[in-house]
Structure 1
Amino acid sequence: MSQNIHIIGAATTFGQPRLGVDLGPDAIRYAGLDKALSSLGYTVTDAGDIRSKYRVNASNHSIKNETNLLNYREVMDFSLELAAEVDNTVSSGQFPLILGGDHSLSIGSLAGISKHYEDLGVIWYDAHGDLNDSRTSPSGNIHGMPLGISCGVGDEDLVNLYNPGIKVKPQNVVLIGMRDLDEGEKLYIKENGILTFTMGDIRTKGIESVMKEALTHLEGRTDGIHLSVDVDALDPLETPGTGTPVDGGLSLSESQLAMEILNDSGRITSMDLVEVNPLLDEKNKTAEKAVKIAESLFGKKQL
């Protein structure tokens, strides 16, 4: 892992209908991210926020296009801009730490990162698979599609965003924390052999075993690993400030241990930290937990 961390605020809320998640990057900053990472010996720079050129308007926020996708043009344009910033960050030898914003931002982050790896791996730490097909999604919410799009599923222009073709092979994906999968996602996971750990698996095996199994699975087949952490992977009691909470999630201590194991591996090359919505939060509690997760990934130990 690079000793130079480049923070990129991805202040987007267009991938889903709830307003406020575009304020997430600043909430995480206010919770002390820069100071926490600098204290661990990293050189930290902050690019500020990439913001959509489109104004967030409460009266017409969730507009579907002709193919049933919400805020399609807004998501497309934002993703292109984020992809370029992430691409430049990796080219300069820095570690891109992308703060969300809703999870649709991963379309852009993966597009920018994947240019630098022949076989990029992805660990998707989330309550949801985000593997919905943009052509068949009943909701049209693009934050439920970024991993599917990055694997080549759905809208052709989104799949080919920034550079043509898929950004990650399905067999190079590991899903961790799953407890709210749609039927189409379950079928896609089975058909493509995606290594998946539900919360039932985590309770049976323990998070340490799960993380080591995930790393073993990606060893030898990937030349870099992108980590995408949605704060709804944690139980809502831990992270109330998020738009799609699902009961029965991971604890903070489990997540810290998971991040410590990833740090020890030295194989994580980039990270998304997404779906913090301060309008839904309790005294910035969720953003503070997000900072603790980042600290553990970058080397802070519980003991």
Structure 2
Amino acid sequence: MPDRRHQPLLPEAAGIEHRDIEILGVPLELGAASRGTLMGPDALRTAGIARALAGLGHHVTDHGNLHDAPLADVAMDPEAAAMCRFLPEIAGWVRTIHARSCEMAARGGVPVFLGGDHSISMGTVSGVARHCAAAGRELAVLWVDAHPDYNVPSTSPSGNMHGMALAFLAGEPVLASILDRPVQAVARENLHVFGARSIDPGERARLRAHGIDVVDMRQIDERGVAALMAERIARWQQKAVWLHVSFDVDFLDPEAAPGTGTVVPGGATYREAHLVMEMLSDAGLVCSLDLVELNPFLDTRGRTALAATELVASLFGRRVLDRQPGATAAA
């Protein structure tokens, strides 16, 4: 598919740092239980994601969608491999995505990956991590998701590989052979799960044992999004990290985002999600993004695709009112 460039500069772009944004669709659905996420990238395009970003003054290049990847041989323990659904297919995708992700990150723009289920992040984040290691940069990952996705084959109740993505990125040895090269693991202290409300028992034990930073919805209810995000942003700013945001639409409550196969009641409100994105935008740390688990087959009149597009626009600078970073609205 040829590149499509969008650049209609709109008045709302005033005061925004304009960036080069590269979009790549990854229509993978085999990592999830429900079919339909392969339609996610095109649903986001229909919702106007490139148009919204270009309207903010960013230079947007859409590279279209990756095509089917070849099956891959995976040198995994046979017992573990038997617990991973569609392992050869997903490994082939991960290896293809990894190469494209590293290439996009090296060009110096902002890679934006449109999924597809969350197993795509095994390739997107590992590619960014490889680039960061080569450039001498430290990578932190903000996993905005109802699920931590920190299972391994022996703890996964389903065998669905979107639930193992963060464990792979942390360098879990049993999953390492999914990639055909050594995995550039993200340091555990740089993995941050935000918005969790569905954690499997074995996964919970692994998160605790590995000291992964997990903000669940009770913490958000008790302390609020602003305080919790501010603490983490201060940490990232002090370390001057490259921040990758991996945003699963099931972070939102199903009332706001019904179009996903992994709905869990009690999620973030539409406004809470926008506040997360606006605070990240103000911090100026986000260097790459995944947008995953949109299933248009389960959506209601494009509601989830439109909400996700608006959230990404907030991440890249859209505001209701102009204000200095850190300033609050007048009472």
Q: Is TM-score (shorter-chain normalized) higher than 0.5?
A: yes
Of 87, 90, 95, the match for 1:75: 90
Of 104, 114, 119, the match for 1:99: 114
- Match in the other structure for 1:110: 125
Change (3 A) 1:68 1:222: farther
- Match in the other structure for 1:134: 153
Residues 276, 286 of structure 1: 8 Å contact kept: yes
Q: Deviations over 1:127-171 (max 9, x none)?
A: 00000013442311000010011101232302xx25413421111
1:25 and 2:45 matched = no
1:40 and 2:60 matched = no
Equivalent-residue separation in structure 2 for 1:51 and 1:264 (angstroms):
35
Of 122, 139, 144, the match for 1:120: 139
Query: How far did 1:174 drift?
Result: 1.0
**Structure 1 residues not aligned, in runs of 5+:** 56-63
Of 209, 212, 221, the match for 1:194: 212
Equivalent-residue separation in structure 1 for 2:39 and 2:165 (angstroms):
20
Change (3 A) 1:189 1:21: same
Query: How far did 1:36 drift?
Result: 0.4
Change (3 A) 1:70 1:2: farther
Higher mean C-alpha displacement, 64-73 vs 126-135: 64-73
Residues 125, 229 of structure 1: 8 Å contact kept: yes
Residues 70, 93 of structure 2: 8 Å contact kept: no
- Paired AA for residue 90 in structure 2: V
Equivalent-residue separation in structure 1 for 2:152 and 2:269 (angstroms):
30
Residues 211, 258 of structure 1: 8 Å contact kept: yes
Equivalent-residue separation in structure 2 for 1:134 and 1:116 (angstroms):
28
Q: Aligned to 2:66, what secondary structure does the other structure show?
A: strand
- Paired AA for residue 308 in structure 2: A
Change (3 A) 1:104 1:222: farther
Residues 40, 116 of structure 2: 8 Å contact kept: yes
Where does 1:147-166 land on structure 2 (aligned, <5 Å)? 147-153=166-172, 154-158=174-178, 161=179, 163-166=181-184
Residues 234, 252 of structure 1: 8 Å contact kept: yes
Q: Deviations over 1:29-52 (max 9, x none)?
A: 000111100010100000100132
Equivalent-residue separation in structure 1 for 2:181 and 2:61 (angstroms):
26
Change (3 A) 1:83 1:30: same
Change (3 A) 1:297 1:162: farther
Q: Deviations over 1:57-92 (max 9, x none)?
A: xxxxxxx99522111111011111111111111111
- Paired AA for residue 192 in structure 2: V
Residues 23, 64 of structure 2: 8 Å contact kept: yes
Equivalent-residue separation in structure 2 for 1:252 and 1:78 (angstroms):
32
Residues 144, 247 of structure 2: 8 Å contact kept: yes
Query: How far did 1:2 drift?
Result: 7.0
- Match in the other structure for 2:270: 252
Query: How far did 1:218 drift?
Result: 3.1
Equivalent-residue separation in structure 2 for 1:163 and 1:219 (angstroms):
31
Of 227, 234, 255, the match for 1:209: 227
- Match in the other structure for 1:179: 197
Residues 225, 272 of structure 2: 8 Å contact kept: yes
Q: Identity over aligned residues, as a percent?
A: 37
Residues 134, 140 of structure 1: 8 Å contact kept: yes
**Structure 2 residues not aligned, in runs of 5+:** 1-16, 72-78, 322-331
Equivalent-residue separation in structure 2 for 1:53 and 1:238 (angstroms):
33
Change (3 A) 1:259 1:162: farther
For normalisation by structure 2, the TM-score amounts to: 0.84
Q: CA RMSD in A?
A: 1.8
Residues 33, 261 of structure 2: 8 Å contact kept: no
Residues 81, 153 of structure 2: 8 Å contact kept: no
Equivalent-residue separation in structure 2 for 1:54 and 1:290 (angstroms):
30
Change (3 A) 1:163 1:213: farther
- Match in the other structure for 1:61: none
Residues 2, 94 of structure 1: 8 Å contact kept: no
